Structure 1
Amino acid sequence: MSSQPAPRPRLAVEPLEDRLAPATFTVTSVDNVGEGTLRNAIIRANATPGADTITFAIGTGLQQIRVMTTPLPAITDRVNINGRSQPGYAGLPLVLVNGAGAGVGATGLTIERGGSGSVITGLGVNQFNGDAIRINADNCRVRACHIGVLFTGAEELSNAGNGVRIYAAATGNIIGGVNPAARNLISGNDANGVLIAGAATTGNVVAGNHFGTGSNGTEFIGNGVIDTPTPTDGAGVRIQGGAFGNLIGGTAPGAGNLISANTVYGVVIDGSPGNTIQGNYIGTDASGTAELGNFEHGIYLLNGASGNLIGGATVAAGNIISGNGLDGVHVEGTGTRGNVIRGNRIGRGTRGTNVGNGAAGVWVADGATGNSVVGNVLAANIGPALQVEGGNTVADNTVL
């Protein structure tokens, strides 16, 4: 009986995974539609899976893209929009996205969920009838942009809504950064500079930006509309609707924001818990020695805002809250409790200067209880240094 050779093993062939390398789309035209436009680049990036890049080569120098009739398409896939790539870029945006003709309620750039991880760098975004930038996504960055101001950073060119809106459970987004080159100028917008809204909107960072001033940190280009403020507008930064765990500023060098010259408030926390405000200049110029003010309170906590930290235990955590039109820090309302105001200079600037607020240094009343005002330095405020009702803790403050 003859032996048969053992069968040879058959090689298994697995189908290759369908992968597309990240693509780069270059904007070469200021036109509203067609090949080489920003609109077309966003459409193509959305249709190409992966982390794509949009660059600019619209001749050289300053260029204005006028968005007409309809808004730009929302960003639905990860993309890096790099305005610094425009030839001649030297620190000021050279690509201006103008929405004056984009229609009622039009937003400038919108990042939806599929666009998580996207980056917008070095653009001017102005004159949209809605918000300049909306983020309903995670881990996105906005840096080196001029939002609501001219490319020079010296004049208002407002958007009718917020400069940046972060909302609908968006997490981990960074507006600005600790490097001065990442600083955004977010000023002159009709609503707020940055709005963070929604009960699951958490873990977002706003750092190193100018709100309400220009590039020198001495100009008056406030967010909000003078003479016609609304209860929800007119702040440099506003946190509302239960948004929690967000950081405005920080303790790292360069993390603090300049939040001054806004038409109503510096920072508002409205009914939201567990946010942190640290290391910012609120009401002064960039040097911390002169008054720019916010028209009313520097920081305003209301409507059940709870467990928020204003300042902290270290020198770097403390805010300078000085030169504002009314109270440095104003806390009010039943259910507004458990907030800590610690280690701030209120009415006191840098270099030992006094830059008083127009009313109280810290005012806690109208049913607000369980709040702590501890270890602050207060000076030169026109009203009382501390006006705090019973049921709150006041300890170890220095009044000069």
Structure 2
Amino acid sequence: MKSQQIRRWFYAIAPALLLSSLLAALSSQAVALGAPSVTFIVNSNNDANDGTCDVTHCSLREAINAANASAAVVDTITFNIGGGGTQTIAPTSALPAITDPATIDGTTQPGYAGAPLIELDGTNAGAGVNGLNISAENSTVKSLVINRFGGSGIVLTTGGGNVIVGSFIGTNVAGDADLGNGMDGIQIASGSGLNIIGGSRPAGPCVSPCNLISGNDDVGILISGGSGNLIRGNLVGTDVNGTSPLGNTFDGIGIVGSIHNMIGGPSKNVGNIIAFNGFHGVSVREDASTENQILSNSIYGNAQLGIDLGNDDVPTPNDDDDVDTGPNNNQNYPRIAWATSWDRRVRVTLDSAPNTTFLIQVFETQPCDRNRYGEGKKLIGSKNVTTNATGYVALTLKVKRFVKNRQITATATDPNYNTSEFSKCRRAS
């Protein structure tokens, strides 16, 4: 029953999230709750803790402690350090976990103009220490730079419904150099669900709600046991412009033992750029990881597969009638029969479950992986198709313009939101 409730909630709100800003949604929630709020202003970049947060002195450590102790439903931590501009906070030990709902708002630092100014530098925090540990539900992190912690940049546990926007996790303040955290960039663990990482992304450099999650020593974003999470509009493995490599050491995004997550979404403006990572672009591991949509992303330049179902480092072969189980039910991928650039047509076939409707997404890419399977750099077309009684369908798609001699690849997503790996490439004529 819980799984069904998560699925209904998740897919009911997804279209709305595409049409309204995350901040407006949060504001509406606060109004509906009628919740009092207390604001704690961080006015010092040192790590002192004398037990109070006031106009004389308030460190981030003191502000988190005060927010945790507050009786307000949702507290806000803002910043007004020095004369404004970039400020670095270097904790000398682990910061307190956020155990009561709070918004940590880096956009309030004077001089903020779209790029984060508040840096959390974990160099001196200790081995294995995470940047922020959030166990409270309905908390928000806005526009922080979190780097050089021995553990992960942000860890979400237990509570769900959290939002992370506009933050650089694993880079310098400029977003153009690797200052990675020792483990994951963002880790969603211990059943934390219904979290939102990012949002719709405008063209150009990564600005809020886009997050830059690059340079970390493990996975960029790891979802372990959480359900109903939305990961959209982020740059994972690139610099702030989404063009130069700052890859995470392992996968860009990893899903382990988790269901009903959405990586990207049905429209291009919520797709993530997932590139230059040391293993897979997106990996879906363990048989329990099903119904995970991977849609409209730009995935390219990763060392292994663009999408890997099973974390076995090789393409998962198609099977007759697609009756197997496994990560995302090992959904069969389509086949590209031909692609002609002069009239923008692509011929696609799919062998999968009989009498079933699938979403086919077609991508242009260059080059293919060494095994001749694709990654999908540029989404050029999408269409719903229905297989016949034998599980077969063939169609010719009219797509957006693509370049002769580039490679074409595709994915298939079933009605239960299981997305396949990328298909074998076909060179466009």
Is TM > 0.5 for Structure 1 vs Structure 2?
yes
1:168 corresponds to 2:190? yes
* Aligned equivalents of 2:261, 2:247: Cα separation in 1: 23
1:249 corresponds to 2:274? no
Tell me how large the CA RMSD over aligned residues is: 3.5
The aligned counterpart of 1:296 is 304
The answer to whether the Cα contact below 8 Å between 2:373 and 2:425 also exists between their aligned partners in 1 is no
- The offset of 1:265, in angstroms, is 1.2
The aligned counterpart of 2:338 is none
* Aligned equivalents of 1:219, 1:39: Cα separation in 2: 35
The aligned counterpart of 1:65 is 88
The aligned counterpart of 1:379 is 426
* Aligned equivalents of 2:425, 2:284: Cα separation in 1: 22
* Aligned equivalents of 1:341, 1:196: Cα separation in 2: 30
The aligned counterpart of 1:107 is 130
CA spacing shift, 1:362–1:352, aligned 2, 3 Å: closer
- The offset of 1:33, in angstroms, is 1.6
1:190 maps to a residue whose letter is D
State the SS of the aligned residue for 1:124.
strand
CA spacing shift, 1:93–1:341, aligned 2, 3 Å: farther
- Stretches of structure 1 lacking an aligned partner (at least 5 in a row): 1-18, 225-233, 284-292, 331-339, 343-348, 364-370, 381-398
- Where does structure 1 differ by over 4 angstroms across 4 or more consecutive aligned residues? 308-322, 327-330, 354-357, 371-377
State the SS of the aligned residue for 2:218.
coil
The aligned counterpart of 1:192 is 219
The Cα offsets for residues 5-25 of structure 1, whole Å up to 9 and x where unpaired, read as xxxxxxxxxxxxxx9931000
The aligned counterpart of 2:68 is 46
State the SS of the aligned residue for 1:65.
strand
* Aligned equivalents of 1:314, 1:166: Cα separation in 2: 29
* Aligned equivalents of 1:184, 1:142: Cα separation in 2: 8
State the SS of the aligned residue for 1:135.
strand
1:206 corresponds to 2:231? yes
The aligned counterpart of 1:15 is none
- The offset of 1:318, in angstroms, is 5.2
The answer to whether the Cα contact below 8 Å between 1:297 and 1:328 also exists between their aligned partners in 2 is no
State the SS of the aligned residue for 2:66.
helix
Whichever structure has more helix as a proportion of its residues is 2
Match of 2:275 among 242, 245, 260: 260
The aligned counterpart of 2:210 is 183
The aligned counterpart of 1:36 is 58
* Aligned equivalents of 2:332, 2:229: Cα separation in 1: 16
The Cα offsets for residues 294-348 of structure 1, whole Å up to 9 and x where unpaired, read as 0111111116313377999798955666546445769xxxxxxxxx999xxxxxx
State the SS of the aligned residue for 1:46.
helix
* Aligned equivalents of 2:214, 2:422: Cα separation in 1: 32
CA spacing shift, 1:106–1:238, aligned 2, 3 Å: same
* Aligned equivalents of 2:212, 2:122: Cα separation in 1: 18
The aligned counterpart of 1:237 is 253
Q: TM-score, normalised by structure 1?
A: 0.71
Identity %: 36
Q: TM-score, normalised by structure 2?
A: 0.67
- The offset of 1:372, in angstroms, is 9.6
Match of 2:117 among 75, 80, 94: 94
- Report the number of matched residues: 318
1:280 corresponds to 2:297? yes
Larger radius of gyration: 1
- The offset of 1:67, in angstroms, is 3.2
Segment drifting more, 188-197 vs 175-184:
175-184
1:352 corresponds to 2:373? no
* Aligned equivalents of 1:311, 1:40: Cα separation in 2: 52
1:126 maps to a residue whose letter is N
